[in-house]
Structure 1
Amino acid sequence: MGFHLNIMNYRKIRSVDFNPDGVCLLVGPNGSGKSTLLSAIELLRNTFERGFDTAINLAGGTWISNLDLPDRPTIFKIETSDLQWELNIANSICLEKVTQGDFVSPHGKSQLKKLYEGLHYSIESQKFENFIRILTQYRNYHDYELWQLRKAGSQAGSESELQSRGQNAFSVLRNWHTSKPLRERYEFVINGLREAFPQFFDDIDFESAGQTVTIRIYPPHSDIPVPIYFASNGFLAAMLHLMAVCSAPDGGIAGIDEPENSLHPYAIKMLIHAFRERAEEKKLTVLLATHSPFLLNEFKEEASRVYVMEQNQDEQLVRLDKLRDTEWLKYFSLGDLYGNEFGRQETE
């Protein structure tokens, strides 16, 4: 489905105009704004659900402006084919505009939520539903709690979406397994793990103790289960990445920060293949913030889906095929060029 995101003057971001689709990479030096970009969509989701004041506190506090642009307003604008929502923040006051309406200053509850709840319902119902569903089910996945999962499992619950740090993974996976409508998500995860770890993994089963759910792993050609405690960080991370992509609704968005951590290049290759299949089938946008040369090499034929955070460009986020000639790029591995021909760390 795709979406259009415009951000101006938000923390590390000076100006971003972003229209991704499918599986996309975000690359650039440390501190250039990749993680900030992924978290900005989360800020918009929380603003809808809880109001801007609460959302900005959840995002780390009231420091909001880029240090180079202290006197300019902060602007967020997110748009799908159905709807546009804009926030304009200046002097700690947040104004909102929905599609063709006027800017208003909501108190507490966001203007978008007031419209959605029917106080001033003037937008076609289905279009509104699609926009809100995509916004509210966005998750920015990062800093997974792997040790907690390995040691203590997940709290049993009824959720059908993975939390941003993966705490509820085993409970959600069991819920997918036992739900006929969601069973295909479980099968996608299991098949993806078989592809990524062919010598180690074939299947799982679930164990419960009180309100806790955990899993055991079955290696290929074995009936002897291995407790998840003994699984590698890479295996657990790969499971959560696959679940993250499955948790997005049709036409939705998922962000994963540094998905390459703890993973062998073969596993990365298999995960990207699985992400692309899922994104094409479900019309997803999957945003991967990375420094991995190997992951970049998987996008050699898709330079239009590599977005580079450039520190000295007026427009901070530049598509790689706009930054370098695509015919020239074909002669190189993108991972060899990263940090030299694009995504350089500036020293002055």
Structure 2
Amino acid sequence: MKIKQLHIQNYKSLVDFKLENLPAFAAVVGPNASGKSNIFEALEFTNYVCRFRFEAASFFGGIKNIYSYQAQPNDNMSFSYKFVNELIINFGLITTSQNHLFNLDDTYMIIQGPIYNLSNKDDEFVFLDIRDKQKRDNFLEELKQIQLPYNNEFEIFIDNFSRIFVGKNFLNRSSQLQSRLHTDASNLSQILAQILEDSEKKDEFVEWLRILIPEFRDIEIRKSNIDGSSEFFLYEKTSNRPFSRHLISDGTYNILALMAAVFQTDNPQFLCIEEPENGLHPQAIELLVDFFREKSEEKGHHILLNTHSQTLVRCLEPREIILVNKVNGATIAKQLTEEDAVNIKTDEAWLSNAFGGGVL
């Protein structure tokens, strides 16, 4: 699953945002309030549109909360994905009202043919007026008859997308998706239980934990006899006492959650991970970057981080860095190349001056 081009228009600060040839592993780097999280949220919104269709916006606070304040009347909120096999997915939301830009009654859903047709021909847009219940019902009934090609890249993206921001429960919309790690990792015990049922996967999981957490010895899952819920316990090298969730550090919990996100399926995933460095020692951050990089290559995952950590940035190769900043309220991106990195280093001085020094 490789994305050749991503183009988002009029989603919050992503007025006209583009990325090309997205690496399998990369990090979005920029200061606070530069729009890093908006990129991840827009990808998450795409996922919800495909899963919940007309209800998707309600998970994000409604159209008013996601439409760019810079959008003009009749401007389109659009999302375009181009994959390496030339499959192009385009869809979006538009309004027809000059006076009520955010009025849902004046909103149309646009779905372009290639979502359902992999022939790569130029198909016309299909307009569905969601005010007309009969049109909507007829269209959805027709949609049920369409046989989607199995395992096309966009389908993989939708089925195996996760956005992770450990502990940020105000972001948690993914409780709708019970089989995957929730955005805030609140169902971590459940996901760990699924992972550790596989003995081979457990061995690899434990091996990585021992690398990332030097004092770690083993992990155990216990199930309640009352409600069947799972709880995990960790063991240290120097003690036979089990440590529950409430007795381990935030950094250890974060590592468990980030590893669980990667291990939750062997299928290619698209993982958006926010501020993975939180609570971690610099050496653990370096090892975690190695883990993400290795798993993206081994499993075919897209793993996209966002960070403003100088420690994490030092661990990255130039091609893995996507710089973002805001210009006149709009988030823009600069993807580094080897040429960009000839005379700069990904250290504190460079990161501090990157936006004012001509990189963006």
TM over 0.5: yes
The equivalent of 1:261 in structure 2 is 278
Query: CA offset at residue 203 of structure 1?
Result: 0.7
Is residue 259 of structure 2 the alignment partner of residue 242 of structure 1? yes
Question: Does the C-alpha gap of structure 1 residues 281 and 271 become closer, same or farther in structure 2, counting only changes over 3 Å?
Answer: same
Deviations 1:226-275 (A, max 9, x none): 23321000100111011112235533210011111111111111111111
Aligned partner (choices 268, 273, 277) of residue 294 of structure 2: 277
Q: In the aligned structure 1, how far is the partner of 2:55 from the partner of 2:71?
A: 24
Asked if 2 retains the 8 angstrom alpha-carbon contact of 1:12 and 1:31, the reply is: no
Question: Does the C-alpha gap of structure 1 residues 343 and 140 become closer, same or farther in structure 2, counting only changes over 3 Å?
Answer: farther
Q: In the aligned structure 1, how far is the partner of 2:139 from the partner of 2:315?
A: 42
Is residue 232 of structure 2 the alignment partner of residue 215 of structure 1? yes
Q: In the aligned structure 2, how far is the partner of 1:140 from the partner of 1:230?
A: 26
Q: How many residues were matched structurally? A: 319
Q: In the aligned structure 1, how far is the partner of 2:8 from the partner of 2:40?
A: 12
Q: TM-score by structure 1 length?
A: 0.82
Aligned partner (choices 155, 179, 192) of residue 173 of structure 1: 192
Query: CA offset at residue 109 of structure 1?
Result: 8.3
| Secondary structure of residue in 1 paired with 2:125 | coil
**Structure 1, gaps ≥5 residues long:** 147-154
**Structure 2, gaps ≥5 residues long:** 96-106, 115-121, 131-135, 170-174
Letter in 2 for 1:169: L
Asked if 1 retains the 8 angstrom alpha-carbon contact of 2:14 and 2:331, the reply is: no
Query: CA offset at residue 94 of structure 1?
Result: 2.1
Deviations 1:5-53 (A, max 9, x none): 21011111122222312221101222221111111111111111111x3
Superposed, which structure 2 residues align to 1:73-88 within 5 Å? 73-82=76-85, 83-88=87-92
Asked if 2 retains the 8 angstrom alpha-carbon contact of 1:256 and 1:287, the reply is: yes
Q: Identical aligned pairs, as a percentage?
A: 23
Q: In the aligned structure 1, how far is the partner of 2:138 from the partner of 2:204?
A: 36
Superposed, which structure 2 residues align to 1:282-297 within 5 Å? 282-297=299-314
Q: In the aligned structure 1, how far is the partner of 2:141 from the partner of 2:272?
A: 23
Is residue 21 of structure 2 the alignment partner of residue 16 of structure 1? no
The equivalent of 2:127 in structure 1 is 105
Q: TM-score by structure 2 length?
A: 0.79
Q: In the aligned structure 2, how far is the partner of 1:110 from the partner of 1:270?
A: 53
Q: In the aligned structure 2, how far is the partner of 1:207 from the partner of 1:97?
A: 48
Superposed, which structure 2 residues align to 1:153-192 within 5 Å? 161-179=180-198, 183-184=200-201, 186-192=202-208
Question: Does the C-alpha gap of structure 1 residues 113 and 133 become closer, same or farther in structure 2, counting only changes over 3 Å?
Answer: farther
Superposed, which structure 2 residues align to 1:1-348 within 5 Å? 1-3=1-3, 4-19=5-20, 20-51=22-53, 53-63=54-64, 64-71=66-73, 72-82=75-85, 83-91=87-95, 92-99=107-114, 100-106=122-128, 107=130, 117=144, 119-121=145-147, 125-126=149-150, 128=152, 130-144=153-167, 161-179=180-198, 183-184=200-201, 186-198=202-214, 200-209=215-224, 210-211=226-227, 212-247=229-264, 250-299=267-316, 302-312=317-327, 316-321=332-337, 325-329=340-344, 332-342=345-355
Question: Does the C-alpha gap of structure 1 residues 259 and 112 become closer, same or farther in structure 2, counting only changes over 3 Å?
Answer: farther
Asked if 2 retains the 8 angstrom alpha-carbon contact of 1:256 and 1:288, the reply is: yes
